[in-house]
Structure 1
Amino acid sequence: MKAQRISAILAVGAISMGAGAWQTAAAEGPNAISANLGVVSNYIWRGQTQTDNQPAVQGGIDYGHDSGFSAGTWLSNVDFGDGTNYEWDLYAGFGGAVNDDFSYDLSVIYYAYPDGRDLDFSEIGASATYKWLTAGVSYTVYGQADDAPGVANGQAMFIQGDLYYNAALDFALPYDLGLNIRGGYYDFRYNDGGNDYGHVGASISREAGEFGTFSFNYDQILRDTYDEDPKLWIGWNKEF
């Protein structure tokens, strides 16, 4: 599942908290292409490790147009304990600013696991940002596991109708530090809420110029039917 990217304030780990965890390429002119490379000590997505608490190397390519349209692709290694070794995401979206304080993003993303079984799924998402607050929702429109919902090796099998709600606060701190405080709730369609869960997290990040952005991160699931141990991890990300 797609990582939350680093920005000037957010740490590696979606940016977001939104389903559209991708960033619009920034450059002069109507078209822009950027690339990103990251390394994390634990790939955490919506509170859950995607690498069995092991490191991950991640990267992608993004296209952005000054109309607000963006598209891109992103790769990461994963480890679900079933022989699935990597994730490949394809995404597109549209975003804009209403004024200096309010902006919005609409997105569609396909999460692919080419060497996995019944794991692929697709979401549409919407989020809005007002000053330091961002809130969003993602809806699963397709899942390969639609005919066999459940949980495999501790990983949810995503099906049509799943909903994910999220919110985050972002603050600029002294010494070029950024603070991100986040939370989310997964409402799964199957099992009458037996697999639903909430999670919280926080990140401190700092840009280091040409050396990229470094972060220290905390994430935790708030339900004892999952691995609810606190996850502390570090990340590095650089855009080109």
Structure 2
Amino acid sequence: MKAQRISAILAAGAFSMGAGAWQTAAAEGPHSVSANIGVVSNYIWRGQTQTDNQPAVQGGLDYAHESGFSAGTWLSNVNFGDDTNYEWDIYAGFGGAINDDLSYDLSVVYYAYPDGRDTDFAEIGASASYRWLTAGIAYTVYGQANDAPGVVDDEALFIEGDFYYYASLDFALPYELGLGIHGGYYDFDYNDGGNDYGHVGASISREAGEFGTFSLNYDQVLRDTYDEDPKLWIGWNKEF
């Protein structure tokens, strides 16, 4: 969910990302604090598995202020086929509503892989939502891969200059069901488009009261130089 952990990221379909949660907040006041935990059968981020198609346990801690400012942190296990075992994200953002139909979010996210080598990167992002439509962009402002041994002339992915564009549609269905449709396009600075890719996905979710929210999800990359097999996965999250 690198995911999508403040609303600008969640709109990308990370959702990511998702998570589940316990939440503690004052009955009245400008501040709220929440923590979250969730389980997914496959951690998909921007169309691609982060766990080699295996399950993940995820959770985080968030702070929000009535002004629109928010900040937090989020963790998940990952499997990149090396010694990298977990991801730790730190993020902050500011958002608000212009009117009943239109809102916006600004964000900064640092993706850390403490037991990996030269894989951390950071993004700034912006998104806007109009009723059931959300669209946004993320720009990579820093990437450790740029300074990795053997990298010459920015020959790496997830470095400064990468762009990610995304959009999603979210609908409320009968029987407390929700339908989400999303898509994105990764425009890497490296290799003049040789590594760029698009992806699409959809999810059906249902809230189950104190038992949290369950979802059935589909994701697929639209370029044959990547794993383009359809990914079907299930998720659970809870917030209280």
Is the pair's TM-score, using the shorter chain for normalization, greater than 0.5? Answer: yes
**CA contact 2:34–2:63 (8 Å) conserved in 1:** yes
**CA contact 2:60–2:72 (8 Å) conserved in 1:** yes
* 1:17 to 2:20 alignment: no
Cα deviation, residue 239, structure 1: 1.6
Cα deviation, residue 5, structure 1: 6.3
C-alpha distance in structure 1 between counterparts of 2:208 and 2:15, whole Å = 25
**CA contact 2:16–2:45 (8 Å) conserved in 1:** no
Taking a change above 3 Å as real, the CA distance of residues 6 and 170 of structure 1, as seen in their structure-2 partners, is: farther
Which residue matches 1:45? 45
Q: Structure 1 stretches of 5 or more lacking a match?
A: 8-13, 152-156
Q: Give the SS at the match of 1:146.
A: helix
Which residue matches 1:177? 177
Aligned length: 228
- Give the share of equivalent positions with the same residue, in percent: 80
Cα deviation, residue 150, structure 1: 5.0
Amino acid corresponding to residue 78 of structure 1 in structure 2: V
Taking a change above 3 Å as real, the CA distance of residues 238 and 126 of structure 1, as seen in their structure-2 partners, is: same
Amino acid corresponding to residue 164 of structure 2 in structure 1: Y
C-alpha distance in structure 2 between counterparts of 1:226 and 1:124, whole Å = 25
> TM-score under structure 2 normalisation?
0.90
Cα deviation, residue 3, structure 1: 3.1
Amino acid corresponding to residue 120 of structure 1 in structure 2: D
What do residues 130-185 of structure 1 show as CA deviations (whole Å, max 9, x unaligned)? 0000000000000001132556xxxxx31000000000000000000000000000
**CA contact 1:46–1:199 (8 Å) conserved in 2:** yes
Amino acid corresponding to residue 33 of structure 2 in structure 1: I
C-alpha distance in structure 2 between counterparts of 1:239 and 1:214, whole Å = 12
**CA contact 1:19–1:109 (8 Å) conserved in 2:** no
Amino acid corresponding to residue 123 of structure 1 in structure 2: E
Indicate the structure whose relative CO is greater, using CA pairs within 8 Å and at least 6 residues apart: 1
**CA contact 1:20–1:108 (8 Å) conserved in 2:** no
* 1:162 to 2:157 alignment: no
Amino acid corresponding to residue 16 of structure 1 in structure 2: A
C-alpha distance in structure 2 between counterparts of 1:18 and 1:211, whole Å = 22
Which residue matches 1:210? 210
What do residues 34-64 of structure 1 show as CA deviations (whole Å, max 9, x unaligned)? 1111000000000000000000000000000
What do residues 63-93 of structure 1 show as CA deviations (whole Å, max 9, x unaligned)? 0000000000000000000110000000000
Q: What does 1:124-163 correspond to in 2, within 5 Å?
A: 124-147=124-147, 148=151, 149=154, 157-163=157-163
Cα deviation, residue 26, structure 1: 9.2
**CA contact 1:18–1:137 (8 Å) conserved in 2:** no
C-alpha distance in structure 2 between counterparts of 1:228 and 1:92, whole Å = 32
> TM-score under structure 1 normalisation?
0.90
